[in-house]
């Protein structure tokens, strides 16, 4: 998928995507969103990985959209498979740039169970 198609797909996603992005500490960036099919996800990105994605894509908004689109490409699969796919895509891109030969994993969780305690 080209970057133009990525951007177009990002604009077609539900309006709540990207509304809740926060950083619980200096070590990670957390994004909560619901995919087009209604699957609520929480994505936790190590700060070092998010910084490299920001540098690669130009800013934090575009890096967040890139992560969101990668999740939505495989949203019908299991959470574990979504996480493996997003990590594979990020690692491939960052290794190609030569910026991050080893990276901490991006974690993805379903927020269906985790929202009851909030």
**pLDDT of res. 72:** 95
**pLDDT of res. 5:** 44
CA-atom Rg of the chain in angstroms: 13
pLDDT at 89 exceeding the cut of 50: yes
**pLDDT of res. 55:** 94
Give residue-wise pLDDT tens across range 65-88.
999 999 999 999 999 999 999 999
DSSP codes of every residue in 39-78: -EEEEEEEHHHHHHHHHHHSSHHHHHHHHHHHHHHTTTS-
Q: Which of 104, 31, 22, 21 is nearest to 70 (CA)?
A: 31
Q: What is the DSSP letter of 37?
A: T
pTM of the model as a whole? 0.73
The mean per-residue pLDDT over the stretch 102-110 comes to 92
Give residue-wise pLDDT tens across range 12-53.
444 444 444 555 556 899 999 999 889 999 999 999 999 999
């Amino acid at each position: 998928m080209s970057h133009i198609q990525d951007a177009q797909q990002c604009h077609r996603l539900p309006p709540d995507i990207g509304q809740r992005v926060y950083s619980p500490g200096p070590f990670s960036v957390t994004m909560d969103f619901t995919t087009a099919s209604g699957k609520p996800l929480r994505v936790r990105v190590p700060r070092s990985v998010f910084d490299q994605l920001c540098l690669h894509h130009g800013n934090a908004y575009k890096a967040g959209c890139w992560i969101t689109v990668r999740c939505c490409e495989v949203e019908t699969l299991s959470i574990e498979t979504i996480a493996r796919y997003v990590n594979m895509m990020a690692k491939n891109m960052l290794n190609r740039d030569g910026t991050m030969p080893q990276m901490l994993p991006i974690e993805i969780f379903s927020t269906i169970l985790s929202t009851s305690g909030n």
